[in-house]
């Protein structure tokens, strides 16, 4: 049997530790998939509680305030290119669903307040905006990137999820039927 030199043994041990650390890093940074699993099973799980400061105007707002409405909860940031691309679509959908008991609710996360406010002005966004300065609420929904959108039914249950930018087809399929459901 061939003996391994101490130097080679140290290199092998270091490489093994590095691979283990890499595997841990990759698996621990994956989003919580509980929402996807529930949706795949046809279940609507209750939305986690959420209370955040308003981006403008002071005060705070709770997600429970919107119970009885269909909510398109959109996590975004001003520096996010796909967020820019979907912002006008979300504005149009807010205008479309507001008279029918729906709203878009933006959550600006990990962003500079003045940049977020400039973004809102530039894209003429009229829907309510909350501020998650340190990203502390993201783990409640398994958010790992921007944009991510969670659709809530009138009872505050999660009805749909989109990781990445929304499009017209997703909103039609996920939001329109909820607007027909009773409050």
What radius of gyration do the chain's Cα atoms show? 21
* 132 pLDDT higher than 90: yes
Domains contained in the chain, number: 2
Q: Span 135-141, mean pLDDT? A: 93
CATH at 99: 3.40.30.10
Q: Kindly state the DSSP code that residue 157 receives in the 8-state scheme.
A: B
Contact 32, 142 (CB under 8 A): yes
pLDDT at 163: 95
pLDDT in tens, 55-109: 988 899 999 999 999 999 999 999 999 999 999 999 999 999 999 999 999 999 9
89, 18: one domain: no
pLDDT in tens, 25-44: 444 445 567 888 878 888 89
Contact 35, 47 (CB under 8 A): no
pLDDT at 52: 97
Query: What is the overall mean pLDDT for the chain?
Result: 88
Give the structural domain span for 16: 1-30
11, 92: one domain: no
Confidence class for position 22, pLDDT limits 50, 70, 90: very low
9, 58: one domain: no
pTM, rounded to two decimals: 0.81
pLDDT in tens, 141-155: 999 999 999 999 999
Angle between helices 81-97 and 113-122 (to 10 degrees): 60
82, 156: one domain: yes
47, 24: one domain: no
pLDDT at 118: 97
């Amino acid at each position: 049997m061939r003996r391994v030199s101490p130097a080679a043994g140290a290199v092998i041990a270091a490489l093994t530790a590095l691979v283990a650390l890499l595997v841990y890093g990759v698996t621990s940074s994956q989003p919580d998939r509980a929402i996807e699993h529930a949706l795949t099973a046809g279940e609507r799980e209750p939305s986690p509680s959420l209370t955040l400061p308003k981006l403008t105007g002071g005060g705070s707002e709770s997600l429970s305030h919107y119970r009885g409405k269909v909510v398109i909860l959109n996590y975004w940031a001003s520096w996010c290119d796909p967020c820019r691309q979907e912002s006008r679509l979300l504005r149009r959908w807010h205008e479309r669903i507001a008279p029918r008991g729906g709203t878009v609710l933006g959550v600006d996360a990990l962003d500079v307040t003045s940049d977020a406010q400039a973004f809102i002005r530039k894209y003429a966004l009229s829907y309510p905006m909350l501020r998650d300065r340190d990203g502390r609420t993201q783990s409640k929904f398994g958010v790992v990137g921007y944009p991510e959108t969670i659709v809530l039914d009138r009872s505050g249950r999660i009805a749909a999820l989109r990781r990445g930018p929304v499009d017209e087809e997703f909103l039609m399929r996920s939001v329109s039927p909820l607007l027909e459901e009773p409050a």
